[in-house]
Chain A
Amino acid sequence: MSLPLISVEGLGKKYRIQHQQNGARYLALRDVIAQKLAAPFRRRPGGEVPASEDFWALREVSFEVGEGDVLGIIGRNGAGKSTLLKILSRITEPTEGRAVLRGRAASLLEVGTGFHPELTGRDNIFLNGSILGMSRVEITRKFDEIVEFAGTGQFLDTPVKRYSSGMYVRLAFAVAAHLDPEILIIDEVLAVGDAEFQRKCLGKMGDVARSGRTVLFVSHHLATVENLCRTAVLLDRGRVTASGPAHDVIAAYASDPTSRRGSERLLDRVDRQGNGAVRFAAVTLRAGDGRKIDALTAGAAAIFEIAFQNTAAVAQRSLHVSIGINNALGQRVTTWSTSYVGGDLPATPAGDFVLQVRLPKVALIPGSYTYNLFATVKSDTADWLIPGGGFDVEPGDFYGSGQLPGTRDAAFISEHAFTVVS
């Protein structure tokens, strides 16, 4: 038996998180000088928060990928997927462990890397190809093929800044798709382009895999992973929590309580974005009559209750909240948002407060769901959790007929009626 094309053994990556009060992203020289000067006078022990803290983005990650395998890497945001890809594509170094790649590897962490808007399509094919590691001879040889795949032939000598975003992405993916490496590392590239082009990309990736090359594929999109990958690895907080056949790993992810529930302690979460003017503190599910429940029921009334921490301690005006609902495959099925149902919320109280989303009739088909929580104050992102948690929907009598569509027939339930008119 031949050696695996990729072997990863005990890989780990440690980041040092700076605790900064002023929120500056970059180290200023004055801070360094001030710290160095103050160091002898600072008393070590005693409740002060340390200036920095270690954070393991990845720890003891091991797996192997054989020739012609397509491995999916899944996990929620902040699980370490991107860090893993960055290490494997040599953009950043691991802190411990090792990885061996037996073959030429090309990574596609973002389509169109290095595209320059002022340059023409032709120029950018050469520039981008060279950045991705192709030689000039190689690009010249595949040039026609790339142009044909992208379908942008007539705009070859137009600066790409005049391209539509669809054309731009098509051209970028076309270059990347013709890399012909033995190992292809891909991060979320399929989240772009129209449906037809996505199918083309999937087809190309299938070709790559069938021709005996190895693909490492990271995605939030569980349906795509299930479609494309034979095996998968599930990452959670930097560690591998499941690996094996893609179907089983996805099932493990979908049913993993930490990927869904645990909404009780939302305030402890560190993988959040936003300025923190308000923060999601807890989510409670209630039935239409206000009684606490564990799961929603299709067709029944329900209340999705969100407790907020109001860090500014003043009344918040112009607060907007969106709750994106994803099914077990990670597909967005619906979004509940203040922007859709109209109007600003009334000003909140000055302290912590609770917001209720009333659902007169739950229109989700039975299954597991996760939700993303997003809030803005005065158009600035205040808090953003992906995902904020999860819930189950249990079968219920939506239509009053005792019947419900299953997952095969529907992604959601819609109210409808049949009438014979002639």
Chain B
Amino acid sequence: MQLVIEPGLASANYWRDLWSYRELMAFLTWRDLAVRYKQTAIGIAWAILRPALTMMVFVLFRRLVGIERGAVPDVLLVLAAVLPWQFFSNALSDASMSLINNTNLISKVYFPRLIVPIATVATAFVDFLITLALLAVIMAWIGFGPSWTLIALPLYAALAVGLSTGLGLLLAALNVKYRDFRYVVPFIVQVGLFISPIAFASTNMPSRWRPLYSLNPLVGIIDGFRWSILGGRTPIDPNFLFTSVAITLASIVIGVWYFRRVERGFADVI
């Protein structure tokens, strides 16, 4: 085995390295989960409590504004949107802070840095799977059976993972150099909660606002989750889906490209 170190050569075996360090990624994911649940008193229950409480707030909101109840119980309608949203917002905030939070690793050991933000997205994804189980329990309790549309769920989940990874990589890399992004991300997450179709359906949007609304890539993803979980009883707009896919792909390309470009300088500036 021979390793050549030269300016600009770090990238030569990058993807092979990334693969050989996959165990480290698993360990980092496991570490984040273990630490989080060891530090808190009720541990893993937080993963369920947070979406459950958020869901209740939104259901209450729907009652207060007097949104008509449809064929689907409000609880499921809202929860089917809260789950992908919460996954996205957790993954994005954690990924964007991941490099800074692991400064000691980055300045002391070599490994492909992509591992760090990806591991945080994986951590958020494990939480997401737990909440999905909560959803299944509630559906069984209400007696609301899933239908064939459920097979599309992995695809929408993949979109959510892709979008949070792409944006997360970009923001994590920017955060190393410009600490301003520490404040930008919570802002994005906060605004995103209001401009995403969580308490309401995207079809409530007047049609002249739709092109603008479709610029929020989460609209297509959240609509898709609803559609897939609730057995096609909620509409999906192909335009929303199309822009979601396009923005997700673009964010992955830009995120990976920018991350790779600045990565080799991380140890010098972090």
B39 within 8 A of A: yes
Q: How far is the CB of A49 from chain B (nearest CB, A)?
A: 21
Bin the interface of chain A by size: 35 or more
A99 to B10, CA, bound (A): 12
Task: Check A96 against B7 for contact (C-beta < 8 Å).
Answer: yes
CB closest residue in chain B, given A90? B110
Task: Check B179 against A114 for contact (C-beta < 8 Å).
Answer: no
Chain A residue numbers with a CB within 8 Å of B38 are 118-119, 159
B267 within 8 A of A: yes
A133 to B1, CA, bound (A): 15
Task: Check B5 against A98 for contact (C-beta < 8 Å).
Answer: yes
Task: Check A90 against B10 for contact (C-beta < 8 Å).
Answer: yes
B41 within 8 A of A: no
The 8 Å CB contact of A93, one of B2, B27, B106, B264, is: B264
Task: Check A91 against B108 for contact (C-beta < 8 Å).
Answer: yes
The 8 Å CB contact of A101, one of B3, B106, B268, is: B3
Q: How far is the CB of A80 from chain B (nearest CB, A)?
A: 14
Further 15 A-B residue pairs, CB within 8 A, beyond A100-B5, A126-B27: A28-B180, A32-B178, A91-B106, A92-B264, A93-B7, A93-B10, A99-B5, A100-B3, A107-B109, A110-B108, A114-B104, A118-B38, A130-B23, A133-B111, A135-B23
Q: Which of A99-114 contact B (CB under 8 A)?
A: 99-105, 107, 109-110, 113-114
A80 to B179, CA, bound (A): 28
A101 to B130, CA, bound (A): 45
Task: Check B109 against A130 for contact (C-beta < 8 Å).
Answer: no
CB closest residue in chain A, given B181? A29
B261 within 8 A of A: no
B206 within 8 A of A: no
Binds B, one of A81-89, A268-276, A336-344: A81-89
B203 within 8 A of A: no
CB closest residue in chain B, given A92? B267
A398 to B7, CA, bound (A): 57
Task: Check A116 against B31 for contact (C-beta < 8 Å).
Answer: yes
The 8 Å CB contact of B109, one of A126, A131, A159, is: A131
Q: Which 9 A-B pairs have the closest CB atoms?
A: A90-B110, A99-B5, A29-B180, A130-B27, A98-B6, A101-B3, A113-B108, A92-B267, A29-B178
Q: How far is the CB of A218 from chain B (nearest CB, A)?
A: 14
Chain A residue numbers with a CB within 8 Å of B108 are 91, 109-110, 113-114
Task: Check B110 against A87 for contact (C-beta < 8 Å).
Answer: no
Given known A-B contacts A101-B5, A102-B1, A127-B27, A113 and B105 have beta carbons under 8 A apart: yes
CB closest residue in chain A, given B263? A93
The 8 Å CB contact of B177, one of A27, A105, A116, is: A27
Number of A-B residue pairs, CB cutoff 8 Å, is 106
Q: How far is the CB of A94 from chain B (nearest CB, A)?
A: 6
A372 to B115, CA, bound (A): 41
Task: Check B35 against A116 for contact (C-beta < 8 Å).
Answer: yes
A132 to B172, CA, bound (A): 23
Q: Which of A30, A88, A119, A130 is most buried by chain B, counting CB atoms within 10 A of its CB?
A: A130
B8 within 8 A of A: yes
Q: Which of B92-108 contact A (CB under 8 A)?
A: 104-108
28 A-B residue pairs with Cβ-Cβ distance under 8 Å, sorted by A, are: A26-B179, A27-B177, A28-B178, A28-B179, A30-B180, A87-B5, A88-B5, A90-B3, A90-B110, A91-B267, A93-B10, A93-B264, A100-B5, A101-B3, A101-B4, A101-B5, A102-B3, A110-B104, A114-B108, A114-B109, A118-B34, A118-B35, A119-B34, A119-B35, A119-B38, A123-B34, A132-B109, A135-B23
Q: How far is the CB of B90 from chain A (nearest CB, A)?
A: 20
Task: Check B3 against A89 for contact (C-beta < 8 Å).
Answer: no
Chain A residue numbers with a CB within 8 Å of B106 are 91
Q: Which of B23, B105, B111 is most buried by chain A, counting CB atoms within 10 A of its CB?
A: B23
Chain B residue numbers with a CB within 8 Å of A133 are 111
Q: How far is the CB of B15 from chain A (nearest CB, A)?
A: 16
Chain B residue numbers with a CB within 8 Å of A90 are 3, 5, 10, 110
B18 within 8 A of A: no
CB closest residue in chain B, given A99? B5
A292 within 8 A of B: no
A289 to B23, CA, bound (A): 69
Task: Check A94 against B23 for contact (C-beta < 8 Å).
Answer: no
Chain B residue numbers with a CB within 8 Å of A93 are 5, 7-10, 264
A95 within 8 A of B: yes
Chain B residue numbers with a CB within 8 Å of A95 are 7
B153 within 8 A of A: no
Chain B residue numbers with a CB within 8 Å of A142 are none
Chain A residue numbers with a CB within 8 Å of B44 are none
Q: Which of A15, A27, A94, A131 is most buried by chain B, counting CB atoms within 10 A of its CB?
A: A131
A132 to B24, CA, bound (A): 9
Chain B residue numbers with a CB within 8 Å of A29 are 178, 180
A136 within 8 A of B: yes
A46 to B108, CA, bound (A): 42
Chain A residue numbers with a CB within 8 Å of B264 are 92-93
CB closest residue in chain B, given A114? B105
Given known A-B contacts A29-B180, A100-B5, A127-B31, A136 and B23 have beta carbons under 8 A apart: yes
CB closest residue in chain A, given B5? A99
Chain B residue numbers with a CB within 8 Å of A99 are 4-6
Q: How far is the CB of B168 from chain A (nearest CB, A)?
A: 19
Given known A-B contacts A32-B178, A123-B34, A113 and B4 have beta carbons under 8 A apart: no
Q: How far is the CB of A373 from chain B (nearest CB, A)?
A: 27
Task: Check B2 against A100 for contact (C-beta < 8 Å).
Answer: yes
The 8 Å CB contact of B39, one of A98, A110, A118, A131, is: A118
